[in-house]
Amino acid sequence: MNRFAVAGGYIIKSAGDVVRDKYIIVEDSVIKDIRDDLPEDIDTVIGGPYDIVMPGLINTHTHASMTLFRGMADDLPLMTWLKDYIFPAEAKFVDKEFVYIGSMLAAWEMTRSGTTAFCDGYFFEDQVGRAAGEIGIRAWLGEGILEFPSPSLTDPSRTIEHSREFISRWIDNDLVKPTVFPHAVYTCPPDLLKKAYELAEEFDLVFQIHLSETHSEIEQVRQRYNMTPVELMDSIGCLSERTLAAHCVVLNTREIELLARRGVSVSHNAESNMKLASGIAPVPEMIASGVNVTIGTDGCASNNNLDIIGEISSVAKLHKINTMDPTVLDECTAFAMVSENGAKALGFNGGRLAPGLPADIVVIDGHAPNLVPVYNPVSHVIYAATGSNVKDVVIAGRIIVKDYASLTVDEEALIKECRKIQKFISAQ
């Protein structure tokens, strides 16, 4: 039996529930107990008396292997970035090895900065699952569904069948869960979106999609269908509690109410939206209407990092200045977005620390100079910490990072492979 303890001076059990000076007892893959004293039979203890211990953080929108495109096409509007740079680069360079190495790099970066679960959509997603399994991070993965050929599927008429085959390979995996991922309303016609949604219903899976990301998307879809993307999705029955919509930047009040009524979860990608000048999602309005808002980093070609702690800080501050109201999104609300809200969006019984729940735990170094002194540990996570302050990480009861060292990654070998790919791309 795997049994150890995580010690902390501040235990953030959930956004509104913090306790002092406790030990979290881990048995196998779950939390057995949270108690004042250390049982005599436990020899392994991570964390310490001044550290901040919290639930593993959940990144609800990534394109993991795009770490290998990090910094390749910066300072461009979304459609120019996508059509003139990213789509051509993907067609030229993305293959199984690219996705595997890029996803290993992403999983290494995410675990080192406090992410214990992520939701991803891209191509050759079996390779993302392979990487996630080797690193030991939870992953919800979707093979991209498109109306045109992709790097992993030259015949778009097979896109649903291709996704079904992917689902069948991962449906029973404990750590890696399949999803259904039609790219967007502007790259998938309504009949394809309906088939994708029916596939998600058939297997009871998360249905993830880019939605209402820019004004140009809204106009493009309106001209083609005389509806906005949200209206179109609703008209064909693709909005429900299984829907995880990334971005949702351009929404009116009626659409926000519709998302709330249908139980849709939204992945807010503030830094990507800022960098591409897509706009600022109406997050306070969505939260006030009852939409389950979560946080994603997006891919490294548009962010350019996977530091979810840095992303939370950006989210919390962005909406204060946008509304000129410092109270509009407090630290507890921000923390919930990246923990229990993310778990809810993925249908995962996590995002909190309590006996019986999965042992996904992050320890932040209480001796770091930017975290001394501590008056409010939740505030510290949102406003003071960075991903580099993450000292230890436990996922499904397995210690993945200990004293800043990744236990499941050959770091030097991985960096060598990444640099080899970078040199090849640069030479073209």
Average pLDDT over residues 358-379: 97
81 pLDDT above the threshold of 90? no
The whole model's pTM is what?
A: 0.97
> What pLDDT score does 32 carry?
98
Q: What is residue 342's DSSP assignment?
A: H
Per-residue pLDDT band at 73 (split at 50, 70, 90): confident
Q: Which of 135, 96, 101, 95 is nearest to 115 (CA)?
A: 135
Structure tokens at 143: 């093979």
Average pLDDT over residues 240-256: 98
Q: Which of 80, 84, 17 is nearest to 54 (CA)?
A: 17
Cβ-count burial 250-277 (b if 16+ within 10 Å, e if not) = bbeeebbbbbbebebbbbbbbbbbebbe
Structure tokens at 12: 């953030």
- Spatial separation of the C-alpha atoms in residues 344 and 337, rounded to whole Å: 10
Q: What is residue 277's DSSP assignment?
A: T
- The proportion of the chain whose per-residue pLDDT surpasses 90, expressed as a percent, equals 95
> What pLDDT score does 77 carry?
84
Pairing label, strands 181-182, 138-145: parallel
> What pLDDT score does 406 carry?
97
**Cα-based distances in Å from 409 to 28, 108, 184, 300:** 21, 7, 34, 20
Residue partners of 294: CB distance under 8 A and separation at least 6: 58, 60, 244, 265, 266, 267, 268, 337, 338, 341, 342, 344, 345
Question: Sign of torsion, CA 265 270 274 275?
Answer: negative
83 pLDDT above the threshold of 90? no
Taking only the tens place, the pLDDT of each residue in 14-59 is 999 999 999 999 999 999 999 999 999 999 999 999 999 999 999 9
Residue partners of 216: CB distance under 8 A and separation at least 6: 78, 79
Concatenated DSSP letters of 107-165: HHHHHHTTEEEEEEEESSHHHHHHHHHHHT-EEEEEEEE-SS-BTTBS-GGGHHHHHHH
> What pLDDT score does 1 carry?
78
> What pLDDT score does 366 carry?
96
Average pLDDT over residues 176-182: 98
Residue partners of 186: CB distance under 8 A and separation at least 6: 217, 220, 221, 224, 229
**How high does pLDDT run on average in the chain?**
97
- Spatial separation of the C-alpha atoms in residues 209 and 206, rounded to whole Å: 10
**Cα-based distances in Å from 342 to 13, 43, 207, 209, 293:** 15, 33, 14, 15, 8
Average pLDDT over residues 253-279: 97
**Cα-based distances in Å from 232 to 195, 202, 249, 281, 399:** 14, 21, 16, 19, 45
Concatenated DSSP letters of 149-168: -BTTBS-GGGHHHHHHHHHH
Compare 117 and 301 and report the one with higher pLDDT. 117
Structure tokens at 322: 């946008």
Under DSSP, is residue 307 helix (H, G, I), strand (E, B) or coil?
coil
- Spatial separation of the C-alpha atoms in residues 91 and 97, rounded to whole Å: 14
Taking only the tens place, the pLDDT of each residue in 50-62 is 999 999 999 999 9
Per-residue pLDDT band at 238 (split at 50, 70, 90): very high
Q: Which of 107, 176, 174 is nearest to 143 (CA)?
A: 176
356: left (phi over 0), alpha (psi -120 to 50) or beta: left
282 pLDDT above the threshold of 90? yes
Contact 298, 272 (CB under 8 A): yes
82 pLDDT above the threshold of 90? no
> What pLDDT score does 87 carry?
86
Question: What domains lie within the chain, and their CATH numbers?
Answer: 3-55+354-406 (2.30.40.10), 57-346 (3.20.20.140)
**Exposed/middle/buried for residue 283 (C-beta within 10 Å: 0-12, 13-18, 19+):** buried
**What's the helix, strand, coil split of the chain in %, to 5?**
40, 25, 35
